[in-house]
Amino acid sequence: MKLTIVGCTGSFPGPGSPASCYLLTATDGERTWKVVMDLGSGALGAIQRYTDLEDIDAIFLTHLHPDHCMDLCGLHVAIRWKPGGWGRGRIPVWGPAATADRMATAYGLPLDPGMHEEFDFTNWTEREPVTVGPFTITPFAVNHPIEEAYALRVEVVEPGRDGVPVSRVLTYSGDTDSCAGLEEAAKDADLFLCEAAFEEGRDDGINDVHLTGKRAGEAAAAAGARRLLLTHIPVWTSQTTVMAEARPVFPGDVAVAVAGVHYTI
């Protein structure tokens, strides 16, 4: 499984990165599948560096804050108005129950048909896995101030070089403060892609919104994750600081996500 960091700046796009968007690529032995976790502000342009839009097999939204979903509006335009027609059917989109209506409202469309002609919307059911190609994605409710927010546990089984299937797990936190659901989603993950928007000391009075580097590290350690990749870092938060917070509490490898970088899991 390959992870491409399309966008990783927290809350709104930064000068070097769009907001949250992550491209996952894996094979089932017959073809390569591509799925997207979140499509935040500014991500639609950047993702075209790594894939043709028509090659996206599915989109998984963690929650409906604009920095995680708003570029679905631009993708709607790309599908609906491409000269000569869109080369594939509707793109499956999994997200919170309000996703279809929220996107239609954001673009000023009537709710019926809204964007249903471009996207096949399905609502998350907590802890109920969905399968797309070699990907199995399970949503876990997490602690963020919006109607529904999820961490996503992504399990992939791919054919190994010796013919024996290989299983890997990536967990993406979405946006959250510390909670049991986050640790359960990240249990024994090979890679834990975890937000760290806040800093210890600076943001101590703000609860139930975001993690600090320390709290992300503690969640990764409690879950038994093997690698920790910190993400969703706003322009006013120091990458050096959140890494320094995480390292004393997490025994594994710690790094900060960088837009345009690929990781093999």
Could you read off the pLDDT of 147-182 as tens digits, one per residue?
Answer: 999 999 999 999 988 878 999 999 999 999 999 999
For residue 215, give the amino acid letter: R
Could you read off the pLDDT of 42-78 as tens digits, one per residue?
Answer: 999 999 999 999 999 999 999 999 999 999 999 999 9
Structure confidence at residue 162 (pLDDT): 81
Burial 235-260 (b: 16+ CB within 10 A, else e): eebeeebbbebbbebbebebebbebe
Summarize the confidence of residues 103-129 as an average pLDDT: 98
**pLDDT more than 70, % of the chain:** 100
- Is there a contact between 111 and 134 (Cβ–Cβ < 8 Å)? no
Contacts of 76 (CB under 8 A, 6+ apart): 103, 107, 115, 118, 119
- Is there a contact between 93 and 58 (Cβ–Cβ < 8 Å)? yes
Whether pTM exceeds 0.85: yes
Instruction: Give the rounded distance of the alpha carbon of 101 from its chain centre.
Output: 21
Q: In whole numbers, what is the pLDDT of the chain averaged over residues?
A: 97
- Is there a contact between 223 and 235 (Cβ–Cβ < 8 Å)? no
Place 197 in a pLDDT band, splitting at 50, 70 and 90. very high
Helices of type H across 12-171: 43-47, 66-69, 72-81, 99-107
Residue 135 pLDDT exceeds 90: yes
Structure confidence at residue 161 (pLDDT): 81
- Is there a contact between 139 and 126 (Cβ–Cβ < 8 Å)? yes
**Whole-number Å distance between alpha carbons of 247 and 230:** 11
Could you read off the pLDDT of 14-27 as tens digits, one per residue?
Answer: 999 999 999 999 99
**Whole-number Å distance between alpha carbons of 167 and 19:** 29
**pLDDT more than 90, % of the chain:** 97
Radius of gyration of the chain (CA): 18
Structure confidence at residue 163 (pLDDT): 78
Structure confidence at residue 211 (pLDDT): 98
Structure confidence at residue 259 (pLDDT): 98
